[in-house]
Amino acid sequence: MSDIKQSLPQPKSISTNMNFQQAKTPTGEAEWEHGLFDCFKGEDLLLGAQTYFCPCITYGKTQARTRDPTLGSYELVNTDCLMWTGAHCFGISWLLSCMKRTEIRESYNIRGDNVKDCLLSWCCNCCTLMQQEKEVIAKQKSGVVKQGYQAPTGMTIHGH
């Protein structure tokens, strides 16, 4: 056998790590329209009770609302609801809430940072879920709708 050494390609080093300073750098200009502890304010009593007793439903509805503001295909128990419930069984549902909070904050240019999103979702998960749902509803009512997924139209081939 010959001593031919084959050089294997080395994976490129991609730095996707965010340092703490970057994570806590505030972004956005707007404020949340609803306070974190406005849980049972006014007509929100039903949302507050629903989120307190079945937070997975609120999480699933917010996820559905961001995809389709009309909630046309929304089902009470949906994949997002079940995923949140599964994560909750392992004590990590706050991570899903944190990711959704960051997504909403960035979509609507709301002031905040990733560290605060994580801490609030971990410490006050029900309150953050309610705040997120109220915020998406308010933004959609005011016309600041972030369009949900739109399926592309099918291709048509015209006859010769």
* Coil vs helix vs strand at 112: strand
Summarised one tens digit per residue, pLDDT across range 132-153 is 999 999 999 988 645 444 455 5
Residue spans per domain, the chain: 39-141
58/64 Cα distance (integer angstroms): 10
Give the pLDDT band (50/70/90) at residue 45.
confident
- The structure's pTM equals 0.73
Q: What's the average model confidence in pLDDT over 10-24?
A: 50
- More confident: 84 or 16: 84
- pLDDT score at 39: 73
Q: Which amino acid is at 133?
A: E
Structure tokens at 121: 């979702």
Give the pLDDT band (50/70/90) at residue 155.
low
Q: What's the average model confidence in pLDDT over 108-128?
A: 94
